[in-house]
Chains A and B, each alone.
Chain A
Amino acid sequence: MNGVGFVWREAVAGLRRNVTMSVAMMLTTAISLGMLGAGLLAVRTIDRTQDLYYSQLAVQVALDEPTSAGDPDCSSPTCAALRGQLQSDPLVAGVTYESRDAAYQRFLRIYAGQSILQLVRPQSLPATLRVTLRDPTRGDAIVQEFSNRPGVRNVVDQRRLVEDLFTFLGSVRNAAFGLASVQALAALLLISNTIQVSAFTRRTEVGIMRLVGATRWYTQVPFLIEAVITGVVGAVLATGGLVLGKLFFIDRLLSGRLISNAIPAVGMSDVLLFVAPLLIVIGAVIAAATGYVTLRLYVRS
């Protein structure tokens, strides 16, 4: 294939002839792909966070004062009946009982050394039945069904409590994808325009090629390679940007005391092994497709 060398040289010559445009094209592509990458990382983080939480989240059935008092192992008839009903519910995966004393011990552990301890007595805390669900999104059903049973103080679906966090992460993702698509449009138009300019600059050359019987490999593939190089360079720059973003922004943000345990960290492997290859493939494929369509629409074959 002695045509490979020719096509490659022509493509590189095309990029160099029009350096300002090439750089603009690469940067725009990079920003677009960077945004897409950020969105993908957000999605990944959301999934992980959900995994982390949903494995621990439960519906808490808090028992009322008479039922809570002096029952270390759920042996009172009310508590045993509730437990039986929960265990036989098809939505329920498991039920554990936490007595008032156990809850108080846990409370002491969590708030060790803090002044709130002096305000709380074991009597202030209810005994609870922690219900884990087969499908963590079906907490509502348990809340509805068990809220007014005898012996129940209230029923809390913990999933509700963390929903705000997911809403936040979800909007990060949406914003990133939104910006990515606007930038992608700009990148596509730039690539398309650059190919048209490039084809126009080389119209004499391409005209002669067509005349002497060059196949489309020689007349069109250089333009496609030019576009694909742009896409790949853009993806590499985007990955570099994401690595910097991770090191200097995300890592600091997530190491803050408030959310360090709330959101799992973004790993370097997420950026380099998950997002980077995707961006390179997406960058190359989209650039090639844009190039192909442009050549079809604007350049005589």
Chain B
Amino acid sequence: MLRLENVTKIYPTSARPALDGVSMDVEAGEFVFLIGPSGSGKSTLLRLLLREEVPSGGSVYVANWNVARLPNRKVPKLRQRMGCVFQDFRLLPNRSVADNVAFALEVTGKSEHTIRTVVPEMLELVNLTGKADRMPAELSGGEAQRVAIARALANRPLVLLADEPTGNLDPETSDDIMLLLDRINRAGTTIVMATHDRQIVDAMRRRVVELHLGRLARDDARGVYGARR
């Protein structure tokens, strides 16, 4: 599903490469934690998968796409098959919960009919059916992140990329979000989640990939957060 081959990324403003010869494979249906201290290259890796950046060396594959070589006009197609959630939710404050989810469908050219059927389906999946007409400002952090997840899944992505999705949430809310992500993963969606949250990683017992200063430091099939340090 995802494959990195000897990927290097050098930002022109930085002396040290953000990623340095990283290779990894993620099979369809896997759940992967991407851990490591700030500046270890987690976000860069996610940005390469999304073609927000192109690698300085090596290749990145998502499904059958050679991401770095993808012509610009095909990048939207790639991104439609990749869902994304972030620490700061990134909801549109002037749109209701339902409209935020509908937005992802609307701007990718889906029909009115599709939007009317998919939006309630997604809200049900994340348990927010009763809050379709709320505005983002009226939501708790956990609810906001669930809206973001519903939006990320609306286009039925192959992969869900989550960059510190629990970074702004208290532990109990974080657990709810992890239960939700686990359920989504078990339904077949591949998930790559960058995190600093030791508790969550230790509790889930899933594959752990650790980056350190841009290099692959560890890749355990059923790992914990702090095995070596």
List A residues at the B interface (Cβ < 8 Å).
2-3, 6, 204-205, 207-216, 218-219, 301
In the docked arrangement, what's the CA distance between A291 and B104, Å?
25
Question: Is B92 at the interface (CB under 8 A from chain A)?
Answer: yes
Q: Is the CB of A212 within 8 A of B155?
A: yes
B residues contacting the other copy or chain, number (CB 8 A): 27
Known: A210-B79, A212-B151, A212-B155. A2 touches B90 (CB 8 A): no
What residue in chain B is nearest A210 (Cβ atoms)?
A: B79
Return the contact of A211 from the options B77, B84, B112, B154 (Cβ within 8 A): B84
5 intermolecular pairs with C-beta atoms under 8 Å apart: A6-B107, A212-B107, A213-B80, A213-B81, A218-B108
Return the contact of B76 from the options A3, A6, A207, A215 (Cβ within 8 A): A215
B179 to chain A, nearest CB (A): 24
What residue in chain B is nearest A13 (Cβ atoms)?
A: B94
- The interface bits of chain B over 66-92 (1 if a CB of A lies within 8 angstroms of the residue's CB, else 0) are 000000110111111110100000101
Pair count A-B, CB < 8 A: 57
A296 to chain B, nearest CB (A): 12
A87 to chain B, nearest CB (A): 72
* Contacting residues, chain A, for B80 (C-beta < 8 A): 212-213
Q: Is the CB of B90 within 8 A of A213?
A: no
Q: Is the CB of B90 within 8 A of A208?
A: yes
In the docked arrangement, what's the CA distance between A278 and B139, Å?
53
Q: Is the CB of B79 within 8 A of A212?
A: yes
- Say whether chain A's binding surface is mostly helix, strand, loop, or mixed: helix
Q: Is the CB of B76 within 8 A of A214?
A: yes
Question: Is B103 at the interface (CB under 8 A from chain A)?
Answer: yes
Within 8 A of A (CB), among B23-41: none
* Contacting residues, chain B, for A215 (C-beta < 8 A): 73, 76, 108-109
* Contacting residues, chain A, for B111 (C-beta < 8 A): 2
B229 to chain A, nearest CB (A): 33
A218 to chain B, nearest CB (A): 4
A239 to chain B, nearest CB (A): 36
Question: Is B220 at the interface (CB under 8 A from chain A)?
Answer: no
* Contacting residues, chain A, for B104 (C-beta < 8 A): 208, 212
Question: Is B106 at the interface (CB under 8 A from chain A)?
Answer: yes
* Contacting residues, chain A, for B112 (C-beta < 8 A): 2
